[in-house]
Amino acid sequence: MAENLEQLLLATVNNKEFLHSEPFEYKSLFLSSVTPDISNARFMPCIFIEDEHAKQFISRAISKRKLCDLYNGENYVLVGKSCIVNCLKYGSSEWKKANTTIESIVELGENIAVSEMIQVPTVYPTDDGKYQILTGHRRFFALVFAYGFGHVAQFKVYARKPILSKVKQFQENASREDLPQYGKLQAFLAAMMEVDYLDQARLKIGEKRITVREKAKYLGISLGAFDNYNVLTRYPEVIRAYENGLSFSFVKVKKVVLKIENDYKIQHDKKVLNIGDRKAIGAKISDALEGKSATSIKKQNYSIKNIASSSLLKKLLFTDVSELDLGIDWEAVDWEDRAQVTSLIAEVIERLDKD
Protein backbone atom coordinates (compact mmCIF):
# COMPACT_ATOMS: atom_id res chain seq x y z
CA MET A 1 0.00 0.00 0.00
CA ALA A 2 2.80 2.42 0.93
CA GLU A 3 4.65 1.61 -2.30
CA ASN A 4 1.49 2.19 -4.37
CA LEU A 5 0.89 5.54 -2.66
CA GLU A 6 4.47 6.63 -3.30
CA GLN A 7 4.21 5.67 -6.99
CA LEU A 8 0.88 7.49 -7.32
CA LEU A 9 2.29 10.60 -5.67
CA LEU A 10 5.36 10.46 -7.91
CA ALA A 11 3.17 10.32 -11.02
CA THR A 12 0.98 13.13 -9.72
CA VAL A 13 3.86 15.43 -8.83
CA ASN A 14 5.68 14.59 -12.07
CA ASN A 15 2.64 15.56 -14.14
CA LYS A 16 2.32 18.79 -12.13
CA GLU A 17 -1.24 17.90 -11.12
CA PHE A 18 -2.61 19.93 -8.27
CA LEU A 19 -2.96 17.48 -5.40
CA HIS A 20 -5.99 19.15 -3.89
CA SER A 21 -8.13 19.58 -7.03
CA GLU A 22 -9.95 16.27 -6.63
CA PRO A 23 -13.16 16.14 -8.76
CA PHE A 24 -16.39 15.59 -6.83
CA GLU A 25 -20.17 16.00 -7.05
CA TYR A 26 -23.09 15.91 -4.63
CA LYS A 27 -25.25 12.79 -4.79
CA SER A 28 -28.12 11.19 -2.91
CA LEU A 29 -27.07 7.73 -1.71
CA PHE A 30 -28.66 4.97 0.33
CA LEU A 31 -27.02 4.89 3.75
CA SER A 32 -26.78 1.11 3.33
CA SER A 33 -24.39 1.64 0.39
CA VAL A 34 -21.88 3.51 2.57
CA THR A 35 -19.23 1.88 4.78
CA PRO A 36 -17.07 3.47 7.51
CA ASP A 37 -13.26 3.57 7.27
CA ILE A 38 -11.80 1.29 9.96
CA SER A 39 -8.50 3.22 9.87
CA ASN A 40 -10.17 6.54 10.69
CA ALA A 41 -9.83 8.01 14.18
CA ARG A 42 -13.63 8.41 14.21
CA PHE A 43 -14.27 4.71 13.59
CA MET A 44 -15.93 2.47 16.14
CA PRO A 45 -16.57 -1.25 15.49
CA CYS A 46 -20.21 -1.25 14.45
CA ILE A 47 -22.97 -3.29 12.86
CA PHE A 48 -25.96 -1.55 11.30
CA ILE A 49 -29.34 -3.06 12.14
CA GLU A 50 -32.64 -3.16 10.28
CA ASP A 51 -35.27 -0.54 11.12
CA GLU A 52 -37.74 -3.23 12.24
CA HIS A 53 -35.28 -4.72 14.74
CA ALA A 54 -34.43 -1.24 16.06
CA LYS A 55 -38.16 -0.57 16.53
CA GLN A 56 -38.60 -3.89 18.36
CA PHE A 57 -35.70 -3.10 20.69
CA ILE A 58 -37.00 0.39 21.48
CA SER A 59 -40.47 -1.01 22.26
CA ARG A 60 -38.81 -3.74 24.36
CA ALA A 61 -40.20 -6.48 22.16
CA ILE A 62 -36.69 -7.94 22.05
CA SER A 63 -33.91 -7.69 24.64
CA LYS A 64 -30.38 -6.41 24.24
CA ARG A 65 -29.10 -9.98 24.53
CA LYS A 66 -31.41 -11.21 21.78
CA LEU A 67 -30.55 -8.28 19.51
CA CYS A 68 -26.84 -8.87 20.09
CA ASP A 69 -27.23 -12.59 19.30
CA LEU A 70 -29.29 -11.82 16.19
CA TYR A 71 -26.44 -9.78 14.68
CA ASN A 72 -23.49 -11.61 16.30
CA GLY A 73 -22.90 -8.22 17.85
CA GLU A 74 -20.64 -9.06 20.80
CA ASN A 75 -17.68 -6.61 20.82
CA TYR A 76 -19.52 -4.29 18.43
CA VAL A 77 -21.79 -1.25 18.65
CA LEU A 78 -25.20 -1.86 17.05
CA VAL A 79 -26.51 1.23 15.22
CA GLY A 80 -30.04 1.70 13.88
CA LYS A 81 -32.96 4.12 13.76
CA SER A 82 -33.29 5.84 17.18
CA CYS A 83 -31.19 3.01 18.59
CA ILE A 84 -27.49 2.60 19.47
CA VAL A 85 -26.49 -0.38 21.60
CA ASN A 86 -22.98 -0.71 23.06
CA CYS A 87 -22.10 -4.43 23.06
CA LEU A 88 -18.40 -3.93 23.74
CA LYS A 89 -16.94 -5.43 26.93
CA TYR A 90 -18.54 -3.56 29.82
CA GLY A 91 -16.17 -1.18 31.61
CA SER A 92 -13.30 -1.60 29.12
CA SER A 93 -11.50 1.44 27.68
CA GLU A 94 -13.10 0.65 24.28
CA TRP A 95 -16.55 0.54 25.92
CA LYS A 96 -15.95 3.91 27.61
CA LYS A 97 -14.67 5.53 24.40
CA ALA A 98 -17.66 4.18 22.48
CA ASN A 99 -20.06 5.55 25.11
CA THR A 100 -18.59 9.04 24.71
CA THR A 101 -18.92 8.77 20.93
CA ILE A 102 -22.48 7.45 21.21
CA GLU A 103 -23.54 10.45 23.33
CA SER A 104 -22.30 12.88 20.68
CA ILE A 105 -23.92 10.84 17.85
CA VAL A 106 -27.31 10.81 19.62
CA GLU A 107 -27.15 14.58 20.21
CA LEU A 108 -26.21 15.24 16.57
CA GLY A 109 -28.84 12.78 15.31
CA GLU A 110 -31.58 14.53 17.28
CA ASN A 111 -30.48 17.87 15.78
CA ILE A 112 -30.38 16.44 12.24
CA ALA A 113 -33.92 15.11 12.62
CA VAL A 114 -35.29 18.65 13.06
CA SER A 115 -32.86 20.74 10.99
CA GLU A 116 -30.79 20.56 7.82
CA MET A 117 -27.24 19.21 7.92
CA ILE A 118 -24.90 22.03 6.88
CA GLN A 119 -21.83 19.95 6.02
CA VAL A 120 -22.57 16.55 4.49
CA PRO A 121 -20.21 13.55 4.84
CA THR A 122 -17.69 12.94 2.04
CA VAL A 123 -17.24 9.53 0.39
CA TYR A 124 -15.52 7.87 -2.56
CA PRO A 125 -16.46 4.77 -4.62
CA THR A 126 -14.91 1.37 -3.86
CA ASP A 127 -14.36 -1.63 -6.14
CA ASP A 128 -17.40 -3.49 -4.77
CA GLY A 129 -19.84 -0.81 -5.93
CA LYS A 130 -20.22 0.75 -2.49
CA TYR A 131 -18.84 3.97 -1.05
CA GLN A 132 -16.37 4.48 1.78
CA ILE A 133 -16.48 7.43 4.15
CA LEU A 134 -13.59 9.86 3.89
CA THR A 135 -14.78 12.49 6.37
CA GLY A 136 -17.94 12.78 8.46
CA HIS A 137 -18.09 9.43 10.30
CA ARG A 138 -20.01 10.92 13.23
CA ARG A 139 -22.43 12.66 10.85
CA PHE A 140 -22.99 9.38 9.01
CA PHE A 141 -23.76 7.50 12.23
CA ALA A 142 -26.08 10.35 13.22
CA LEU A 143 -27.95 10.03 9.90
CA VAL A 144 -28.48 6.30 10.52
CA PHE A 145 -29.66 7.08 14.06
CA ALA A 146 -32.05 9.80 12.84
CA TYR A 147 -33.53 8.08 9.78
CA GLY A 148 -32.54 4.39 9.69
CA PHE A 149 -30.11 2.36 7.59
CA GLY A 150 -32.45 2.23 4.57
CA HIS A 151 -32.74 6.02 4.27
CA VAL A 152 -31.36 8.13 1.41
CA ALA A 153 -29.14 11.15 2.21
CA GLN A 154 -26.91 13.56 0.37
CA PHE A 155 -23.14 13.05 0.25
CA LYS A 156 -20.19 14.81 -1.28
CA VAL A 157 -18.85 12.08 -3.61
CA TYR A 158 -15.28 12.15 -4.92
CA ALA A 159 -14.70 10.56 -8.33
CA ARG A 160 -11.95 8.44 -6.78
CA LYS A 161 -10.17 8.06 -3.46
CA PRO A 162 -8.28 11.34 -2.85
CA ILE A 163 -4.51 10.87 -3.06
CA LEU A 164 -3.88 12.51 0.31
CA SER A 165 -6.93 10.99 2.01
CA LYS A 166 -5.41 10.91 5.52
CA VAL A 167 -4.41 14.56 5.19
CA LYS A 168 -8.04 15.42 4.38
CA GLN A 169 -9.22 13.41 7.39
CA PHE A 170 -6.76 15.15 9.69
CA GLN A 171 -7.81 18.58 8.44
CA GLU A 172 -11.33 17.83 9.65
CA ASN A 173 -10.41 15.97 12.85
CA ALA A 174 -7.95 18.61 14.09
CA SER A 175 -10.62 21.31 14.00
CA ARG A 176 -13.20 19.37 16.02
CA GLU A 177 -13.21 19.70 19.80
CA ASP A 178 -15.24 16.54 20.39
CA LEU A 179 -12.61 14.17 18.95
CA PRO A 180 -10.49 12.62 21.74
CA GLN A 181 -6.86 13.73 21.88
CA TYR A 182 -5.77 10.16 21.20
CA GLY A 183 -7.72 10.20 17.94
CA LYS A 184 -6.12 13.49 16.90
CA LEU A 185 -2.61 12.12 17.49
CA GLN A 186 -3.45 8.99 15.48
CA ALA A 187 -4.83 11.11 12.65
CA PHE A 188 -1.69 13.29 12.68
CA LEU A 189 0.63 10.27 12.34
CA ALA A 190 -1.40 8.90 9.42
CA ALA A 191 -1.46 12.29 7.68
CA MET A 192 2.27 12.86 8.21
CA MET A 193 3.02 9.50 6.60
CA GLU A 194 1.32 10.76 3.43
CA VAL A 195 3.14 14.11 3.62
CA ASP A 196 6.46 12.25 3.99
CA TYR A 197 5.71 10.17 0.89
CA LEU A 198 4.90 13.37 -0.98
CA ASP A 199 8.22 14.81 0.22
CA GLN A 200 10.10 11.76 -1.11
CA ALA A 201 8.27 11.99 -4.44
CA ARG A 202 9.29 15.64 -4.82
CA LEU A 203 12.93 14.83 -4.09
CA LYS A 204 12.93 12.11 -6.76
CA ILE A 205 12.03 14.61 -9.47
CA GLY A 206 14.57 17.15 -8.24
CA GLU A 207 12.29 19.46 -6.28
CA LYS A 208 13.04 20.88 -2.83
CA ARG A 209 12.00 19.25 0.43
CA ILE A 210 8.70 20.30 1.95
CA THR A 211 9.37 22.89 4.65
CA VAL A 212 7.86 22.72 8.13
CA ARG A 213 5.70 25.72 7.27
CA GLU A 214 4.42 23.94 4.14
CA LYS A 215 3.68 20.77 6.15
CA ALA A 216 1.60 22.77 8.62
CA LYS A 217 -0.22 24.40 5.69
CA TYR A 218 -0.97 20.99 4.12
CA LEU A 219 -2.49 19.86 7.43
CA GLY A 220 -4.44 23.08 7.91
CA ILE A 221 -2.93 23.96 11.31
CA SER A 222 -0.67 26.68 12.73
CA LEU A 223 3.08 26.21 13.18
CA GLY A 224 2.56 26.16 16.94
CA ALA A 225 -0.04 23.39 16.70
CA PHE A 226 2.20 21.47 14.29
CA ASP A 227 5.05 21.64 16.81
CA ASN A 228 2.74 20.36 19.57
CA TYR A 229 1.72 17.36 17.47
CA ASN A 230 5.30 16.74 16.37
CA VAL A 231 6.64 16.63 19.93
CA LEU A 232 3.80 14.49 21.31
CA THR A 233 4.06 11.85 18.58
CA ARG A 234 7.80 11.30 19.08
CA TYR A 235 7.07 8.79 21.81
CA PRO A 236 4.43 6.02 21.64
CA GLU A 237 4.16 6.27 25.44
CA VAL A 238 2.36 9.61 25.05
CA ILE A 239 -0.15 8.20 22.59
CA ARG A 240 -0.73 5.17 24.83
CA ALA A 241 -1.33 7.44 27.82
CA TYR A 242 -4.02 9.36 25.92
CA GLU A 243 -5.52 6.08 24.69
CA ASN A 244 -5.76 4.94 28.32
CA GLY A 245 -7.65 8.04 29.40
CA LEU A 246 -5.09 10.83 29.95
CA SER A 247 -6.98 14.13 29.74
CA PHE A 248 -4.26 16.77 30.13
CA SER A 249 -3.90 19.34 27.35
CA PHE A 250 -1.35 18.92 24.57
CA VAL A 251 0.51 22.02 25.77
CA LYS A 252 0.86 20.65 29.31
CA VAL A 253 2.11 17.22 28.18
CA LYS A 254 4.45 18.80 25.64
CA LYS A 255 6.17 20.71 28.46
CA VAL A 256 6.71 17.44 30.35
CA VAL A 257 8.14 15.71 27.26
CA LEU A 258 10.54 18.56 26.48
CA LYS A 259 11.71 18.82 30.10
CA ILE A 260 12.44 15.09 30.34
CA GLU A 261 14.24 15.17 26.99
CA ASN A 262 16.33 18.17 27.99
CA ASP A 263 17.20 16.75 31.42
CA TYR A 264 18.24 13.45 29.82
CA LYS A 265 20.50 15.20 27.29
CA ILE A 266 22.21 17.21 30.04
CA GLN A 267 22.58 14.20 32.33
CA HIS A 268 24.10 12.01 29.60
CA ASP A 269 25.89 14.82 27.71
CA LYS A 270 24.04 14.07 24.46
CA LYS A 271 22.97 16.26 21.58
CA VAL A 272 21.62 13.49 19.33
CA LEU A 273 19.36 10.76 20.72
CA ASN A 274 19.56 7.15 19.51
CA ILE A 275 16.92 4.41 19.75
CA GLY A 276 18.11 3.36 23.22
CA ASP A 277 17.95 6.94 24.46
CA ARG A 278 14.43 7.40 23.15
CA LYS A 279 13.34 4.17 24.81
CA ALA A 280 14.75 5.36 28.15
CA ILE A 281 13.13 8.78 27.75
CA GLY A 282 9.85 7.11 26.81
CA ALA A 283 9.89 5.13 30.06
CA LYS A 284 10.48 8.34 32.05
CA ILE A 285 7.63 10.06 30.20
CA SER A 286 5.33 7.14 30.95
CA ASP A 287 6.20 7.35 34.67
CA ALA A 288 5.62 11.11 34.67
CA LEU A 289 2.22 10.85 32.99
CA GLU A 290 1.20 8.11 35.43
CA GLY A 291 2.31 10.22 38.41
CA LYS A 292 5.25 8.01 39.35
CA SER A 293 8.07 10.58 39.11
CA ALA A 294 9.10 14.05 40.22
CA THR A 295 8.27 15.33 36.73
CA SER A 296 4.66 14.25 37.13
CA ILE A 297 1.95 16.66 36.08
CA LYS A 298 0.41 18.01 39.24
CA LYS A 299 -2.87 19.84 39.40
CA GLN A 300 -2.36 23.29 40.88
CA ASN A 301 -4.86 25.68 42.38
CA TYR A 302 -5.45 29.13 40.97
CA SER A 303 -4.18 31.91 43.22
CA ILE A 304 -6.55 34.81 43.96
CA LYS A 305 -5.41 37.84 45.97
CA ASN A 306 -7.31 38.85 49.11
CA ILE A 307 -10.53 40.76 48.44
CA ALA A 308 -11.15 43.37 51.13
CA SER A 309 -14.22 45.09 49.65
CA SER A 310 -17.71 43.57 49.68
CA SER A 311 -18.67 45.69 46.65
CA LEU A 312 -15.73 44.22 44.71
CA LEU A 313 -16.81 40.72 45.72
CA LYS A 314 -20.34 41.45 44.43
CA LYS A 315 -18.92 42.63 41.11
CA LEU A 316 -16.99 39.39 40.72
CA LEU A 317 -19.97 37.23 41.63
CA PHE A 318 -22.75 38.98 39.73
CA THR A 319 -21.04 40.62 36.72
CA ASP A 320 -19.89 39.05 33.44
CA VAL A 321 -16.42 40.61 33.52
CA SER A 322 -15.72 39.53 29.93
CA GLU A 323 -18.38 42.05 28.81
CA LEU A 324 -16.77 44.97 30.70
CA ASP A 325 -14.39 47.43 29.05
CA LEU A 326 -11.25 46.35 30.93
CA GLY A 327 -8.86 46.47 27.97
CA ILE A 328 -8.33 42.69 28.07
CA ASP A 329 -8.14 40.60 24.88
CA TRP A 330 -10.07 37.55 26.08
CA GLU A 331 -9.56 35.71 22.78
CA ALA A 332 -5.78 35.78 23.29
CA VAL A 333 -5.89 34.15 26.74
CA ASP A 334 -4.30 30.69 26.97
CA TRP A 335 -6.57 29.10 29.58
CA GLU A 336 -4.18 26.15 29.92
CA ASP A 337 -1.39 28.49 31.07
CA ARG A 338 -2.01 28.64 34.83
CA ALA A 339 0.48 31.46 35.41
CA GLN A 340 -1.14 33.62 32.73
CA VAL A 341 -4.65 32.96 34.07
CA THR A 342 -3.58 33.71 37.67
CA SER A 343 -2.02 36.98 36.50
CA LEU A 344 -5.19 37.79 34.55
CA ILE A 345 -7.38 37.22 37.63
CA ALA A 346 -5.19 39.61 39.63
CA GLU A 347 -5.40 42.19 36.83
CA VAL A 348 -9.22 41.93 36.65
CA ILE A 349 -9.55 42.34 40.43
CA GLU A 350 -7.22 45.36 40.40
CA ARG A 351 -9.15 47.09 37.59
CA LEU A 352 -12.54 46.38 39.15
CA ASP A 353 -11.27 47.74 42.47
CA LYS A 354 -10.40 51.06 40.79
CA ASP A 355 -13.87 51.50 39.25
Contacts of residue 163, Cβ cutoff 8 Å, sequence gap at least 6: 5, 8, 9, 12, 19, 22
Per-residue model confidence as pLDDT tens for the chain (355 residues): 555 666 666 666 655 555 556 789 999 999 999 999 888 777 789 999 999 999 999 999 999 999 999 999 999 999 999 999 999 999 888 888 888 889 989 999 999 888 878 789 999 999 999 999 998 898 999 999 999 999 999 999 999 988 888 998 898 777 666 667 888 898 999 999 999 988 888 888 888 899 999 999 989 999 999 999 999 999 999 999 998 888 888 999 999 999 999 999 999 888 899 999 999 999 999 999 988 765 555 555 666 766 777 777 777 777 777 777 777 777 667 776 666 777 778 777 777 777 6
**Domain positions in the chain:** 1-19+165-233, 23-161, 244-299, 310-354
How do strand 122-125 and strand 24-30 relate by DSSP bridges?
Answer: unpaired
pLDDT at residue 16 in the model: 53
164 residue type, one letter: L
pLDDT (tens digit per residue) in 3-61:
566 666 666 665 555 555 678 999 999 999 999 988 877 778 999 999 999 999 999 99
d(CA 153, CA 131): 13
